[in-house]
Structure 1
Amino acid sequence: MDDVAKERTVAHTAPVAAAREALVSAGAYVMSPAAVSECLGTDEHGWACFATHWEDLAPDEYAAERGTRRLRRYGHFSLTRTGELTLLPHVAFVQPEQSNPLYVDVDRNFEPLTDAFVADPLLTPLLRMLGDVAACLDDAAEWSVKVHPFRVVASADSQGAPTPEGRHRDGVTLVTSLLIGRENATGGESTVYDPDGRELLTTTLSEPGTLLLGDDRATLHGVSPIRPLDTGRPAHRDVLVTTLRAR
């Protein structure tokens, strides 16, 4: 992983500027796949290669206990203001206080990100771009970046719940959800709310590369369940959830 700031692949592009403006004024924003691809310098082939990592996720036993079939992995990075990105030692995932009501004070042990995922050409520029976006919310010298590739699975007799905890915060500064793919799925509508419950933004992430951004300090968010379009086959929804919090 190249940590030299002068070789950063992400600049303050027009898409990043638009995202910053929207986060400051409205608290949430959707970046189009074209805008995200422009920032990352990638194309359909790059997205297709990145999506293969979602075939190598591990079962989420904690979600299974609550009736949700979910696959995932987890990794923790530090990201400096100058773009130096470092993978931190793998430890249990703990939600910040007063965020996820289902797992208060629960240490959840997930399988780590694979070496291939960490080395993927899209990951470093993506995390650096998110650091550039988050700079509008906090002038942090260093970010704690937590990376969660998810696959939620549904069948004819079992809906898939991307957010079984319901409307919630993640206890961070910036919360993001990047759509990787959907297969045979209906539903999965993402909604961002203000603290009083008023809807600020509602969207269904349907095209790979679409990125939902939220100021987690000022909003709450949730995603409706998915169900199969063809009930004879399972459905799944693949996303990359990434959060940034000032260290």
Structure 2
Amino acid sequence: MDSSEDLRAGDVARHGWAHGRLPLPTEGDDWHRFTAAWDDLVPDAYLGPARCRRNRRYGRVLAHRDGTLEPLLGTEFFQSKQINRAFGDQLRVFEPLTDKALTSCRFSEILQESVGLVNEAAGDRDWELGVHFIRVIAEPDEGSEPAPEGRHSDGHEYVAIHLIGRHHCVGGESQVFRRGEERVEHSVTMTEPLEALVLSDTTMEHAVSEIRTEDRSVPGWRDTMIVDFNTVQDLTEVNGRTHSSLQALSLF
């Protein structure tokens, strides 16, 4: 699929995955203010011996079926060892997304487009979204693994992986597999801002190859925004509700 094509919900519904691009602008002051958030990420404290240098922040958002986006308090993140061989069975608490990032109009627009696509594929519902801002950094003398856990699913219902940008790096090929099958169903090295993969996390698995520096004299990096989708059955049971909206916050 040409990365210039818009993402299609029908591909997610029929095949379990879609590759394309969000139909949003990636230039101008609003975009540059938004992408500056990746310069403000902090080192991931949970990597241990993993062959990866990674900076990140994390946030949670309640996406109501009426289109409202409600920021949630709390940045706890847990995956079982069965889901994540490298980092499972530990409660990870990440540094939160900054207020500047949360109130960016581009942030809300990316979430709205992503939620709209998943709702078209899966049916309208309320979602708890986990939002990861991640920068994977390769040093001149050492590559870096964007996904040290290897081929995996993430333990959610859907996952949207958005490329934000690349800087002096090569590699980072994404591969999509149907769960239980060896054949690669789709592979792509995303290069365009807001090029994305949207996956049914219950039926598909994915992997990403290491990135390396393009120029041996300087570091390189790959920035992504990853959105996890989990269905909310009862809004009263969602932890950290603020009863405010991102759209209202962005006006101030």
Give the match's secondary structure for 1:93. strand
Alignment TM-score, normalising by the size of structure 2: 0.84
More displaced, 64-73 or 135-144?
135-144
In the alignment, which residue of structure 1 is the partner of 2:20?
31
- Answering whether residue 200 of structure 2 is matched by residue 211 of structure 1, we say no
Per mean C-alpha deviation after superposition, the further-off stretch among 61-70 and 173-182 is: 61-70
Question: Within 1, Cα distance between the matches of 2:215 and 2:155?
Answer: 37
Larger strand share, 1 or 2: 2
Following superposition, the deviation at residue 91 of structure 1 comes to 3.4
Q: Summarize deviations over 1:180-222 as a string: whole Å, max 9, x none.
A: 1111101000111011122111111111121111111110001
Q: Match of 1:229?
A: 214
Match of 1:168 among 152, 155, 180: 152
Q: 1:200 and 1:132, CA in 2 relative to 1: closer, same or farther beyond 3 A?
A: same
* RMSD of aligned Cα (Å): 1.8
Shift of 1:135: 1.6
**Letter paired with 1:115:** D
Q: Secondary structure at the match of 1:47?
A: helix
* More helix per residue: 1
The C-alpha deviation readout for 1:126-177, integer Å capped at 9, x for no partner, is 2122111112443353101000000000113221110000000011111111
How far apart are 1:48 and its partner, in Å?
2.5
Per-residue CA deviation, residues 102-145 of structure 1 (Å, 9 max, x unaligned), is 22221011100000000011111221221111124433531010
Residues 27, 218 of structure 1: 8 Å contact kept: yes
Give secondary structure in 2 for the equivalent of 1:153.
strand
After TM superposition, the runs of 4+ consecutive aligned structure 1 residues lying more than 4 A away are: none
Q: Which position in structure 1 is the counterpart of 2:248?
A: none
Output one character per residue of 1:24-61: Cα deviation in whole Å (capped at 9) or x when no partner.
122221122xx421xxxx34113322211100001001
Name the SS of the counterpart of 2:76 in structure 1.
coil
Q: Which runs of 5+ in 2 are unaligned?
A: 233-252
1:66-215 superposed matches below 5 A:
66-95=50-79, 98-139=82-123, 141-195=125-179, 196-215=181-200
| Number of aligned residue pairs | 226
What residue ranges of structure 1 are gaps of 5+ in the alignment? Answer: 1-13
Q: Look up the SS of the partner of 2:100 in the other structure.
A: helix
